[in-house]
Structure 1
Amino acid sequence: MRKILIVGAGQSGLQLALGLQSQGYEVTLMSNRTADEIRSGRVMSTQCMFPTALRHERDLGLNFWESQAPRIEGLGVSVAGPDSARLIDWVGKLDGFAQSVDQRLKMAGWMETFAQRGGQLVIHGAAVGDLDFFARRYDLVLVAAGKGELVSMFGRDAERSVYAEPQRALAVAYVHGLGPRPEHPDFDAVRCNLVPGVGELFVMPTLTLSGRADILFWEGVPGGPVDAFQGVKDPSEHLALTLELMEKFLPWEYARATRVELTDAGGTLAGRYAPTVRKPIGRLPGGGLVLGVADVVVANDPITGQGSNSAAKCAAAYLAAIVEHGDKPFDEAWMQSAFDRYWQTAEPVTKWTNAMLAPPPEHVLNLLGAAGQLQPIADRFANGFDDPADFENFFFDPEKAAAYLASLTAGA
């Protein structure tokens, strides 16, 4: 029985641990917090998982909250004008539903399931020295803890990392009491509100510890008016600032948020990080090798909502690579090939996310505008969140965008 150590109990670490466990591997999972500490702690992320990522969970029988979480059937885009009016406003329908489950709920539940199924759960923060000790006792060590000292083992891939500095200041609030969008009250959708030069507000339905909720998520251009959450420690002050900025820049979203309240005292989060692609193999002082997982090696800005989706896809790719490898050694060549397999899905995500962080070129503005009149464009854009590789076919290149528009209007 092959022995595998996974450090980090997020989406990718837990999904991979449970997947390997189901295949008969002897898995040890290291987490710096217990399930109860995760459950009672601060929110860790926003997360909206689209059909492919949800299918990876379903394939492992880990979709415990599927019947409770809101079914997200669409993705809407609104663009604010200088006078806070909506210049663009449409919603695309998803081919399959998306869902968001508060990671405090999901990770705590999955961690308990892993332990109940006989997995070795170690509650301990891991340093590089610890991994040096463990590497000799396991066939494979995977690092899935995206923050802290361990990430420093994985060198920045300069060719694949477009940005050296954070491109957005992030501020999240989980709330109860948000009203429906009056123009689409009959189905749930993620709303992407773009304020040119200022930032973006995302609104997404979610399931949290206290039931149905919504996430208000500001992404502010650094130094701009939405970059205002640093130093705000009080949750109620954080929410008040979130709403104040909504009232100023996005009055149509503020109009349905006048009665909201935080889901709990841990329902806010703020921070920033530079989007970075890292080399996938970490070298320990004693000569051992470890493989980086998900956002340890590909950390994109959350502007395209891909973090948890990429984590699920990485865990699925690594699970398949490990199982297919049989009893052969997990050497450097295998580690690189496992990452290359994941990069096939991560590369389109990275390209699209980096593009969305920059001011949109004219052909993209034309596409976003045309989606208000041509539903197939709105639907295609929405489904690109599930399969970002499709953006290559119509989004990045002005000529491809023009040809796509022409194909839709030829018969009109």
Structure 2
Amino acid sequence: MRKILVVGAGQSGLQIALGLQAQGYEVTLMSNRTADEIRTGRVMSTQCMFHTALQHERDLQLNFWESQAPKIEGLGVSVAAPGSWAEGPAARAIDWLGRLDGYAQSVDQRVKMAGWMETFAQRGGQLVIHGAAVGDLDYFSRTYDLVLVAAGKGELVQMFARDPERSPYSEPQRALAVSYVHGLGPRPEHPDTEGVRCNLVPGVGELFVMPCLTTSGRADILFWEGIPGGPLDVFNGVKDPAEHLSLTLELMERYVPWEYARATKVELTDAGGTLAGRYAPTVRNPVGRLPGGGLVLGVADVVVANDPITGQGSNSASKCAAAYLSSIVERGDKPFDEEWMRATFDRYWATAQHVTKWTNAMLAPPPEHILNLIGAAGELQPVADRFANGFNDPADFENFFYDPEKAQAYLVEVSGAGAA
């Protein structure tokens, strides 16, 4: 029986640990917090998981909350008319809803990670509550066949060198501010459709609104992504959750009044329902070398950390876990050497590269052909649907999104089909 250590109890670490456990591996999971501390702590993220990522959970029979979480069937995009907020509340220039082929869901990570950790322990896994340092891993690397580092923050990440060719940004591109709320009303245009709403405010930032399941039941997430130094970059140092929500709503009233109109009665889900921060999107070398010569393999956002503007974090973590799980099982009893580690990462990068390319493109001011595509989606439902389903499979953007000629050819083809 091969012994594997997983450091970090997030989406990817837990999914791998539970998957390996089901295959008969001897798995140790290290977490710096207990399940109860996670459940009663502060929100850790936004997370909207699309069909493929959800299917990886179903394949491992870990979809414990599927019947309770809202089923997100659409993805909407609204664009504020540039400069329309100068004299008062902004006006919408574009507004549409694309339909997802398979529904998406969002489960608060406090609910999911706590539940999965308890399941891992109940099934006989060794759960160690201890923050790991590099020195600890030096020791463990001699007693385990494989050490996976899935803790995306802290000193362990520094073991993995930044890959400059795959990391065009060295500074954070957005200031992030999250509020989990109860009491948000429906969008009047589509009152019966649960949807993720992407509101783009040119030159200012973005507001995402998504239904989710949290510790107190159904809720919604209000998530601002502000261009650093701009009018949305005001959450740094705000410690009081009520002040955080008040700021969120003030900004909504000015920049996305159509969303504010349904948020006038919201209240925070709990005292831990806010989060603010920023980080630079970074791709890292997947193999970490320990002082004693041992090797560890980085997982998910340890090695590929994208800005959350495209909602891919938990999706990528799930896809990374699925790829790594397959590679470990297929390896049998052969050594988990550096060559295998790099090949395992490359298997994940085959999908992750599309996420990184798309996310970095969305962080930059959009070129004219992308504005045309987003505008055309308001007139042509197939374009809206295809854009929405790109959140599940970002590789499809290669076919119609980046290249102006491909975008134009696609719009001509769809327009012709509509006319016919």
Taking structure 1 as the reference length, the TM-score comes to 1.00
**Residues in 1 aligned to 2:260 and 2:193: alpha-carbon distance in whole angstroms:** 19
Specify the alignment match of 2:322 in structure 1. Answer: 316
Asked if 1:6 corresponds to 2:27, the answer is no
RMSD (Å), alpha carbons? 0.4
Residues of 1 paired with 2:168 and 2:411: CA distance? 29
C-alpha distance after superposition, 1:112-154 (max 9, x if no partner): 0000000000000000000000000000000000000000000
SS of 2:12's equivalent in the other structure is: helix
Deviation at 1:187, TM superposition (A): 1.1
Listed as ranges, the matches of 1:153-302 within 5 Å are 153-302=159-308
Query: Within the alignment, does 1:34 sit opposite 2:40 as a pair?
Result: no
1:175-201 CA distances to partner (integer Å, 9 max, x unpaired)?
A: 000000000000100000000000000
Report deviation, 1:334.
0.2
Q: Whole-Å Cα distance in 1 between the matches of residues 414 and 320 of structure 2? A: 35
2:152 corresponds in structure 1 to 146
Question: 1 CA distance for matches of 2:139 and 2:415?
Answer: 64
Partners in 2 of 1:192 and 1:410 — Cα distance?
28
Q: 2:337 aligns with which of 323, 331, 335?
A: 331
Q: Matches of 2:360 and 2:47 in 1, distance apart?
A: 19
Matched, 1:58 2:64: no
| Structure 1 residues without counterparts, runs of 5 or longer | none
Aligned counterparts of 1:149 and 1:124: Cα–Cα separation in 2:
14
Residue 196 of structure 2 aligns to a residue whose secondary structure is strand
- Take 1:342 and 1:249, find their aligned partners in 2: how far apart are those partners? 38
Measured in 1, the distance between the counterparts of 2:400 and 2:414 equals 12
Q: Tell me, in whole angstroms, the C-alpha distance in 2 between the residues paired with 1:189 and 1:72.
A: 5
SS of residue in 2 equivalent to 1:410: helix
What is the distance in 1 between the residues matched to 2:306 and 2:356?
A: 6
Runs of 4+ aligned structure 1 residues displaced above 3 Å come to none
Determine the structure 1 residue equivalent to 2:103. Answer: 97
CA distance in 2, matches of 1:85, 1:379: 24
Q: Quote the Cα distance in structure 2 between the aligned partners of 1:408 and 1:312.
A: 33
Take 2:367 and 2:194, find their aligned partners in 1: how far apart are those partners? 30
Indicate the residue corresponding to 1:72 in structure 2: 72
CA offsets per residue over residues 50-80 of structure 1, 9 Å max, x none?
0000000000000000000000000000000
1:407 to 400, 410, 413: 413
Distance 1:228 1:209 in 2: 28
Any idea what the Cα deviations from partners look like across 1:143-179, whole Å, max 9, x if unmatched? 0000000000000000000100000000000000000
- Report the Cα distance in structure 2 between the residues aligned to 1:14 and 1:262, rounded to whole angstroms: 28
Residue 408 of structure 1: how far off its partner (Å): 1.0
Amino acid across the alignment from 1:95:
D
Shift of 1:389: 0.1
Secondary structure of the residue that 1:163 maps to in structure 2?
coil
Separation of aligned partners in 2, 1:258 and 1:207? 21
The answer for the alignment partner of 1:367 in structure 2 is 373
Q: Does 1:49 align with 2:55?
A: no
Could you report, residue by residue, the CA deviation over 1:182-222 in whole angstroms, capped at 9, with x for unpaired residues? Answer: 00000100000000000000000000000000000000000
SS in structure 2 of the partner of residue 76 of structure 1: strand
Distance in 1 (alpha carbons) for counterparts of 2:59 and 2:229: 44
1:340 maps to a residue whose letter is D
| Secondary structure class of the residue paired with 1:295 | helix
User: 1:347-366 maps to which residues of 2 (within 5 A)?
Assistant: 347-366=353-372
For 1:145, what is the secondary structure of its paired residue? Answer: coil
CA distance in 1, matches of 2:382, 2:415: 11
Cα distance in 1 for partners of 2:414, 2:393 equals: 21
Letter in 2 for 1:16: I
1:18-29 matched pairs, under 5 angstroms:
18-29=18-29
CA shift for structure 1 position 251: 0.4
**Which residue matches 1:398?**
404
The Cα of 1:410 is off from its aligned counterpart by 2.1
Q: How far apart in 2 are the matches of 1:38 and 1:345?
A: 30
Q: Scaled by the length of structure 2, what TM-score is found?
A: 0.98
One-letter amino acid of the counterpart of residue 30, structure 2: M
Q: Secondary structure at the match of 2:166?
A: coil
Q: State the SS of the aligned residue for 2:395.
A: helix
**Which amino acid in the other structure matches residue 326 of structure 2?**
A
Per-residue CA shift, 1:336-378, capped at 9, x if unaligned? Answer: 0000000011000000000000000000000000000000000
Amino acid at match of 1:77: V
1:344 aligns with: 350
2:143 maps to amino acid = R
Q: Does 1:116 align with 2:118?
A: no
